[in-house]
Structure formats: structure tokens, C-alpha cells
């Protein structure tokens, strides 16, 4: 790695403080080609881009990898951020979508709350909701599958 990594110990401590204040399980910050990710009950991970032409090594298989559920068919909508999922616009209201509903591209599917900000998640495709993979009010991680649309 050439040059100084742009994050210092104080930055890591500040990010850890944000995790505690917000109740998030992880936070990631990028600056140029460098990034830092801090996660609760996990190792702090800091990385810089690999040298050009050097492929990243695939992750090692973990115990129980053979027990994973089969991949979903259709378009899997993943969480764009770490947060809490809300399937309806307010408590007690009807959900934005249910299994079997036809959706159009851009239609709101659900809300991801992150750092007290309600972020609507629009459908990236038109189709039929085949599966909702999350429960209302539960936390989700970045890139976690949320809904399957065919």
C-alpha cells in the first residue's frame, strides 16, 4: 500500500461511538479508494484497494456452508444500508406491499430507518412480489435480501 492510510485511531473511536449512540450493528465510511468498517462484536476491518491487476481472494468457506438455503429466483431486492425495516408507512397501517401484489418500478416497497432517518426503498423492477424475507421492525444488514420480485 502506498501513502498513509487516511483513517486514524480517533476516527475508529468516533465511529464506534456512533454505533453505540445509534444502536446500529455496523458502520462503514469510504474516502477515495480507502474504506473503514466498524462492527459490534466483530473485528474492526480497515482496507485499501488491492493493487491493480491483483484479484481479491474469494472468502474461505465456512462451516455449515452446505446448509445454506437455495438462492431465490427472480429479482432479489437487497437492503441499501444497515437499519431497521418497516413494511408500512406507520404502525397499524397496511403494508406497502404483500406477497402476490403487482408492483411497478419506482413503487415504494418498504422503509429502512437508519440513524433516525426514514428511507423509502423503491422497487428497482416491475413484477409480482413472490416473497418478503424480513419482518416488520427487525434490523437488517447492508446488502441483506429483503424482497423477491418476479
Report pLDDT for 125: 93
137: exposed, middle or buried (Cβ count in 10 Å: 0-12, 13-18, 19+): exposed
Query: Which pLDDT tens digits describe the chain residue by residue (150 residues)?
Result: 455 555 567 777 787 787 777 777 777 777 776 677 777 764 444 444 444 444 555 555 555 444 445 556 788 999 999 999 999 999 889 999 999 999 999 999 999 998 888 999 999 999 999 999 999 999 999 999 999 999
Picking from 144, 143, 124, the residue whose alpha carbon sits closest to that of residue 134 is 144
Report pLDDT for 8: 64
Report pLDDT for 84: 93
SS3 29: strand
> Contact 31/3 with Cβ under 8 angstroms?
no
Domains and CATH numbers, the chain: 9-47 (no CATH), 74-149 (2.40.50.100)
The pairing of strands 139-140 and 102-103 is unpaired
Report pLDDT for 144: 92
Report pLDDT for 101: 94
Report pLDDT for 43: 42
Report pLDDT for 67: 47
Amino acid at each position: 500500500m502506498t501513502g498513509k492510510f487516511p483513517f486514524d485511531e480517533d476516527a475508529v473511536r468516533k465511529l464506534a461511538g456512533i454505533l453505540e449512540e445509534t444502536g446500529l450493528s455496523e458502520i462503514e465510511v469510504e474516502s477515495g479508494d480507502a474504506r473503514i468498517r466498524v462492527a459490534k462484536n466483530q473485528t474492526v476491518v480497515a482496507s485499501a484497494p488491492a493493487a491493480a491487476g491483483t484479484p481479491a481472494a474469494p472468502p474461505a468457506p465456512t462451516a455449515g456452508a452446505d446448509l445454506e438455503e437455495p438462492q431465490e429466483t427472480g429479482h432479489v431486492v437487497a437492503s441499501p444500508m444497515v437499519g431497521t425495516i418497516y413494511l408500512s408507512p406507520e404502525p397499524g397501517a397496511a403494508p406497502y406491499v404483500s406477497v402476490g401484489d403487482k408492483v411497478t418500478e419506482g413503487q415504494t416497497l418498504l422503509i429502512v430507518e437508519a440513524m433516525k432517518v426514514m428511507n423509502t426503498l423503491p422497487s428497482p423492477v416491475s413484477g409480482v412480489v413472490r416473497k418478503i424475507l424480513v419482518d416488520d421492525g427487525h434490523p437488517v444488514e447492508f446488502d441483506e435480501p429483503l424482497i423477491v420480485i418476479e
